[in-house]
Amino acid sequence: MKVTLNVFLKEGILDPQGKATAHALEVMGFEGVNGVRIGKQIVLDLACSDEVSARAEAEKMASDLLVNGVIEEYTIEVAA
Amino acid sequence: MRVAVLHFLGTNCERDTHYALQKAGAKVQMLAHTEAQLPQKCDLVVIPGGFSYGDYLRCGAIARVAPIMEAVSRFADQGGRVLGICNGFQILLEAGLLPGAMRRNANLHFISRYQPMRVVSNDNRFLGKLDEGQILTVPLAHAEGNYYIDEPGYKALQQNNQILLTYCDATGAPMGVNGAVGDIAGIRNEAGNVFGLMPHPERAVDAITGSTDGLTLLKSVLEG
């Protein structure tokens, strides 16, 4: 079962990569860029038989290793 | 003073650290990440700098699940003293042995230069031989040293005298370097037996390289 985690710095935590990229877009002439946030995507292939257990397993992995809750937040998508 | 210096895949400061600690008067033993136990007689564990596991996922995140780290956590829980330098500091944060987290430097640059820092507190088992307000100049070398902790956490650090070192200019005035909350360069845990700092004292132990302030710091750490 495929589980996708999208990990971003929490709102309010400075994202220097996003800020630099937003600045570059402005320099290139793109207007109205209110913000850029850069995160990472982690795609897990899990041997779980149902969505509920796959989600639970991935959430445990996120809190134990994949995401640093001090500065990061994430969303989770489970594909059947 | 018997010191164990750990090395993980990608650690690259272990030999400098070994040399510097020996010069400061310690008996040093190197220990690989695969070991499950610390030496029976060990007064201090040092996690040196480098790029453990290529900084994959997050700096220090993979190293903290290496077998030796369980032993380090037990050692720290029992009051054993642990020092983390640069990537070692990041590993201690990821392991939860120190509060907070590291972000990319605010200016996105890898910072590599001599940097003064100020001793904020000497009421601890690491910097007891130094003076409050003393300025030490040692090399910085990191891309992720932008220390973060939330506001209540920062207040707690201040109240408990857990902030040991902050970045400053040559006169001792506060200086922003990498975006770190409170210009923090080094902190200890609440119990007072775990200390992490971003600057590299092991690189400033011979006058020929420009400073011996790192040796001064390490000697104080050893005298605990």
Nearest CA among B156, B201, B144 for reference residue B16: B201
Reported as type and span, the H/E element at residue A70 is none
The answer to whether residue B171 scores a pLDDT higher than 80 is yes
Task: Report in angstroms the alpha-carbon separations of B102 from A69, B26, B90.
Answer: 12, 30, 7
Among A37, A60, A64, A68, pick the best mutation site for testing chain B contact (most B Cβ within 10 A): A68
Task: Report in angstroms the alpha-carbon separations of B46 from A67, B51, B222, B224.
Answer: 26, 15, 11, 13
Band (pLDDT 50/70/90 cuts) for residue B224 is confident
Mean pLDDT of B183-212: 97
The answer to whether residue A80 scores a pLDDT higher than 80 is no
B1 and B25 Cβ atoms separated by less than 8 Å: yes
DSSP assignment letter at A63: I
Are the Cβ atoms of B57 and A70 closer than 8 angstroms?
no
Residue B8, domain CATH: 3.40.50.880
Q: Nearest Cβ partner of B108 from A16, A65, A66?
A: A16
pLDDT at B4: 98
The total number of residues written for chain B in this structure = 224
| Chain B residues closer than 8 Å to A66 by CB | 57
- Report the percentage of chain B scoring pLDDT > 90: 98
Are the Cβ atoms of B104 and A17 closer than 8 angstroms?
yes
For residue B24, give its domain range: 2-223
Number of domains in chain B: 1
The two three-digit tokens of residue A73, written as one number: 């937040």
CA distance A76 to A49: 17
User: Any idea which residues of B carry the catalytic annotation?
Assistant: 86, 200, 202
**Side-chain-side CA neighbours of residue B157 (13 Å):** 26
Per-residue pLDDT reduced to its tens digit, B81-130: 999 999 999 999 999 999 999 999 999 899 999 999 999 999 999 999 99
Q: Which amino acid is at A16?
A: P
Class of domain A2-79: alpha beta
The answer to whether residue B65 scores a pLDDT higher than 90 is yes
pLDDT at A14: 86
Per-residue pLDDT reduced to its tens digit, A6-57: 999 999 898 988 999 999 999 999 999 999 999 999 999 999 999 999 999 9
Q: Nearest Cβ partner of A71 from B103, B107, B108?
A: B103
B20 and B214 Cβ atoms separated by less than 8 Å: yes
Band (pLDDT 50/70/90 cuts) for residue B215 is very high
